[in-house]
Amino acid sequence: MDRRFFIKAIPMAGVASTIGTEKGLLKAMAGEKPATGDREYNVDLMIRICRPVIEQLSKGKLKATMPTEVAPSYGKPVDKVTYLEAFGRTLAGIAPWLELGEDNTMEGSKRIEMLEMTRKAIAMAVDPASPDYMNFTGKFDAQPLVDGAFLAHGLLRAPKHVWGRLSAKTQQQVIDGLISLRSIKAFTNNWVLFSAIIEAMLLKFGADWDRKPIDLAVQKMMEWYKGDSMYGDGAHFHYDYYNSFVIHPMLVDVLKVMAEKEESSKANYELALKRMQRYAAILEKQVSPEGTFPVVGRSMPYRNAAFQALAQIALEEKLPEDISPAQVRCALTAVNKRIFETPGTFDKKGWLQIGFCGHQPEIADVYTSTGSLYLCSTGFLALGLPASNPFWSAPAQPWTSKKAYAGAPVKKDHAIDY
């Protein structure tokens, strides 16, 4: 039998004997915390995922070394799009952790190394003379708009230690590359936010920007709102995780920049943020006691990126009052173990392989290639909180479904009407 279908179980020792007592459940949870600590586990896992992309690009060897696995019936010119996919998505996730900057801890030494490589990688990606110069045009396919947007989002998430430490030449080359993406017309769905986040990043860093894509994206997303935190992906609602992959994170950050620059009302940002908080609460409730969650909708090879919205709300320290940071940490750590410890997730050289839990090419969509997979890095946004933050330092706590299925007290849930 194929070993990829065997999944390592999350320990449940102690829960059965303590059902109905929250105190006992908390004690059982404490026994499940990894010996190295949740933060160290997640830092090392994120680096394991991101390092091959960043290191090889920093050396100008990404195109020479990265696999180009594609989904069945893949329909894009992979060599023209997959490298920007890999790097833009990787930066979007690792950026908040990099933004913590240098320190003299063991983790800090890892961050110093990754910061240095990331700055070199950006320079390689945007320098026309580089062997890894990336495609920022729509000449071959519209895909670069998507991943230029993730690159822009990553830079927004690390304004001081990444963007602010680039040379003036590299900054201008980044700006030139992103501006060239204006030639690509966004589809009338979540893609409107790709154009918008690029313009928001240009606005944030003082470059020439165009407000039309932002106004259009905000207008459309408000039109497509379906209620109880859910936006349509276009006029219709799709039961998938695009509210987390793209919509909530980018919409909130676009409106945040607009409010900061006094180009839009703060009320627009606050409304989008409240909706995102509700969506984050729904995501937290979807994590089962065993650390699994529903595999539904397209783009499941993005793996734990399904929790980007929850991780971002945690990063902003704006979790709903009835959801503790520690329970989110424990839930997301359990998810990461279930997904990334499955054989076949990585190839022999450390690159991600197509799949959700292991190597499963058949679950991929026609636009999925190796580079696409690195959106999973956005599931680690909460690493942008320092180790001393309660998200990481508080004792382990059970998440909602773990409490519910153990008979512990759980507050009733309800929809929002805004």
Taking the CA atoms of residue 249, residue 62, residue 207 and residue 305 in that order, the dihedral angle to the nearest 10 degrees is 0
Model pLDDT, residue 28: 58
CA atoms within 13 A on the CB side of 67: 18
Split into its structural domains, the chain has a count of 1
Residue 67, token pair as written in the block:
């696999």
Asked if residue 310 is part of any domain, the answer here is yes
List phi, psi (to 5°) of 356. -105, -50
Q: What CATH number does residue 322 fall under?
A: 1.50.10
Question: What phi and psi, each to the nearest 5 degrees, are found at residue 5?
Answer: -90, 0
Predicted pLDDT of residue 74: 97
Q: Is residue 413 part of a domain?
A: no
Give the per-residue pLDDT at 3: 39
Domain limits at 332?
Answer: 38-380
pLDDT at 59: 98
For residues 58 and 121, is the Cβ–Cβ distance under 8 A?
A: yes
pLDDT for the residue 218:
98
Residue 409 within any structural domain of the chain: no
Q: pLDDT below 50 — which residues of the chain?
A: 1-20, 34-35
| Residue 388 counted as domain residue | no
Q: Angle at CA 415, nearest 5°, toward 412 and 417?
A: 145
210 is written with which tokens? Answer: 């165009």
- As given in the structure block, the two tokens for residue 270 are 């606050």
In a domain, 42, yes or no: yes
pLDDT at 11: 43
CA distance 353 to 260: 40
Residue 157: which H helix or E strand, with range? none
CA angle 57, 36, 110 (to 5 degrees): 30
For 190-224, the pLDDT digits (tens) are 999 999 999 999 999 999 999 999 999 999 999 99
* Residues 134-186 pLDDT 10s: 999 999 999 999 999 999 999 999 999 999 999 999 999 999 999 999 999 99
The two structure tokens encoding residue 4 = 């990829």
Question: 């313009």: which residue's tokens?
Answer: 199
Please enumerate in sequence order all residues whose Cβ is within 8 A of that of 30, keeping only pairs 6 or more positions apart, or say none: 395, 396
Neighbouring residues of 175: CB distance < 8 A, sequence distance ≥ 6: 202, 205, 207
What integer pLDDT is reported at residue 379 of this predicted model? 98
Place of tokens 């709300």: 313
* Residue owning tokens 């932002």: 214
Q: Is residue 17 domain-resident? A: no
Measuring CA to CA, which residue among 205, 229, 231, 203 is closest to residue 218? Answer: 231
Residue 30 lies in a domain: no
Q: What are phi and psi of 47, to 5 degrees?
A: -65, -40
Structural domain contains residue 25? no
SS percent in the chain: helix, strand, coil, step 5: 60, 0, 40
The pTM score is 0.92
